[in-house]
A = this chain, B = another copy of it.
Amino acid sequence: MGTRILSVEDDERIRTAVRMGLEDEGWTVDEAASGEAALEVFAERPTDVVLIDLMLPGMDGFAVCRAIRRASDVPILIVTARADTHDVVAGLEAGADDYVTKPFQPKELSARIRALLRRARPAAAGTSQLSFGDLEIVPDEGVVRRAGADIHLTKTEFRLLCELASVPGRVFSREQLLERVWGYDYFGDGRLVDVHVRRLRTKVEADPAAPRHVVTVRGLGYKLQA
């Protein structure tokens, strides 16, 4: 199996208790006592599930959640003493998949983690194809090449391209792109996606006026194709 779980929790007693419960299930547990440490661990180790406490020294749990979600689709479970509905909603909006309030039973935590794994696993299996005709995407170091030549993309442009590339040929609506590229709680101008698509096209397309890769599907959204 080799399921790795990252537990982000500043209270050492709870952290230990959580770890023992999870190890009883046969999972491997990484730990972090702060948000900053969590992001570091997450970047270094392959992680299958993340548990986050909301009350952390330094950056809070919501911020950690958003930061991780920006980089990955890993299942995130918030584990916290804050049971207020407002917090639950905020946590889920920040990209978390589940929200458990302390005190909780280890059995319930494990069951919820299993439920998340069950759903996440198949999705993680599909490794994204990263070549589209003369277009080549190299996720490490955020580089895109066309016909062998490096193209510099900004962070937003790159994320947009990666999102489109995640399911080649599939149409993504503007809402989906806003949600997945810009963040879950985005409210703003309706033209935002269009503008970035345009900027992306001027760099990626040989002839931006006649796009061959980043194609618009009127009334639906955009898609990427070879």
Contacts and interface: CB of A to CB of B under 8 A. Distances in A.
A119 B118 CA distance: 12
A125 B173 CA distance: 13
Given A98-B98, A115-B98, A140-B170, A219 B89 contact: no
Nearest to A88: B108
A136 interface: no
A156 to B, nearest CB: 9
B96 A115 contact: yes
Interface in A100-127: 105, 107-108, 110-112, 114-115, 118-120, 122-123, 125-126
A93 interface: yes
A119 B97 contact: yes
A67 interface: no
A141 interface: yes
A118 B179 CA distance: 9
Interface in A53-104: 75, 85-86, 88-89, 92-93, 96-99
Given A108-B85, A119-B120, A219 B92 contact: no
Given A1-B173, A126-B170, 7 more contacts: A88-B105, A92-B111, A92-B115, A119-B123, A142-B217, A142-B220, A155-B220
Interface of A: 1, 75, 85-86, 88-89, 92-93, 96-99, 105, 107-108, 110-112, 114-115, 118-120, 122-123, 125-126, 140-143, 154-155, 166-167, 169-171, 173, 179, 217-220, 223
